[in-house]
Amino acid sequence: MENKNRQPRVILHIDMNSFYASVEMADYPELQGKPLAIAGNPEERKGVIVTSSYEARKYGVKTTMLVGEARRLCPSLLIRRPNFDRYREVSKQLFAILREVTELVQPVSIDEGYMDISDLADRHPPELAEELQKRIFADLKVPCSIGIAPNKFLAKMASDMKKPMGCTILRKRDIPKKLWPLPVLDMHGVGEKTAEKLKKIDVHTIGDLANRKEYELKNLLGVNGSKLHQRANGFDDREVDPEAIHSFKSIGTSTTLAEDTSEETEVYRTFRKLAEKVEGRMKRKEVVGQQLQIMIRYNNRKTVTRTRLLHNNTNSREVISREAVDLFEEHWNQQPIRLLGITMSELVETDEAVEQLNLFTYERVAEKEPLYKTIEELKEKYGSDVFKSSKMPLPSIRTSFQKDFLDGD
């Protein structure tokens, strides 16, 4: 809960509108005002839409949609390949502009971030936000929406309320009128699975969530239920931390085996235990990570490490264990093993985590969509144990794509 004796804060959330498409339009003015989508393989009907302009969205073109379907909805759709180096360049220019106003800037992703302007007593927040919006558009030719609120959660919700080029104020007293009527799925921090669980207890709007007993939500969703209840009522004491994106380096653990072994079942059992420990530490620190590293020490003391960038951020023991085993099988030289270790890095706070998308992974994930659907259907019909006897690593069943993190170099 927030400290009510503290001086009120003023937080801005800056969210670039249709960022990748907007950068392309800024670089190629002939694209302005036309339905535009960014896709990794526009020549292929199975290519996946990364993002689309607002002109394209009017036709129903959405992120993760296949190119073939998007073209059926909008025959005049223009499609370009993504240029992530260019997007990161514009992103760095964006955050340089924000830091001219205050050093209290926290990048969250390549196209969004928070600012704490509480100490700028001589500036009227709405006027400052509008000036900032105009400056960004004048310098970068890219539109943005800005939310103005007393905390990060409300600022994030406010920036979503008017796009493109919106400046929205969301005060605590505005919550019942502006926030509570929204569908609960529109709430930052509520995904489709959580929304489905909430629907089963007749929580359909953010107001329904806010007015439920906190213990009911905690029983249903664990600690996250309490957190969502507080946010729905407008409480969020997270600071704007310029170092947050760099705060956590890695979390890992290792173990020396009771005896040198070449027995695969012992290796798999050990990786499960290590993954459980890593999951526990990550959840205590409320972080997720995208890079996994395993360490293998052989009986001759030779030690090797192997690293894999995962499709999405995770702190799930199942995902960590599965990916570790897969990486092990790929690199094991069949010699007896003395020690095993798992480390997760590229860590970010759970609250600010977004599923990452880059040119090398989104096509691969999209190709597996039919497999994901089949796995889910089988689990529903036969239970989650249906795959437990298989050694085959299963894909992480996360199918939404959102944003690419700022530090991609």
35-74 pLDDT, tens digit per residue, is 999 987 666 666 788 899 999 999 999 888 889 999 999 9
Is the pLDDT at 89 greater than 60? The verdict is yes
Q: In CATH terms, is domain 244-353 a member of 3.30.1490.100?
A: yes
Question: Domain residues of the chain, as ranges?
Answer: 1-170, 176-232, 244-353
Q: Which of 112, 279, 323, 355 is catalytic?
A: 112
The residue behind tokens 């795959």 is 387
Q: What is the pLDDT of residue 43?
A: 66
For residue 363, name the pLDDT band (cuts at 50, 70, 90): very low
Q: Who's near 337: CB < 8 A, 6+ residues apart?
A: 257, 260, 261, 262, 267, 296, 297, 298, 299
Query: Which residue type occupies 54?
Result: Y
pLDDT of residue 244 exceeding 90, the answer is no
User: How many helices and strands (H and E) does the chain possess?
Assistant: 14, 12
Q: Quick one: pLDDT at residue 47? A: 78
Does 40 or 325 have the greater pLDDT score? 325
CATH code for the part of the protein at 1-170: 3.30.70.270
In 3D space, the residue among 171, 174, 198 whose CA is nearest the CA of residue 185 turns out to be: 198
Q: Name the phi and psi angles at 51, rounded to 5.
A: -160, 170
Q: Has 111 been labeled as part of a binding site? A: yes
112 is catalytic: yes
Which amino acid, 165?
M
- Give the right CATH number for 176-232 from 3.30.365.10, 3.90.1170.30, 1.10.150.20, 1.10.580.10: 1.10.150.20
In terms of C-beta distances under 8 Å and separation of at least 24 residues, what long-range contacts does 200-207 make, across chains too?
205/180, 205/181, 206/179, 206/180, 206/181, 206/182, 206/232, 207/176, 207/179, 207/180, 207/181, 207/232
Buried b (16+ CB within 10 A) or exposed e, 77-96: bbbbebbbeebbebbeebbe
pLDDT tops 90 at residue 370: no
pLDDT tens digits for range 190-211: 988 899 999 999 999 999 999 9
Q: Which of 24, 53, 26, 50 is nearest to 163 (CA)?
A: 53
Q: For residue 15, say whether it is annotated as part of any ligand binding site.
A: yes
25: confidence class by pLDDT, cuts 50, 70, 90 = very high
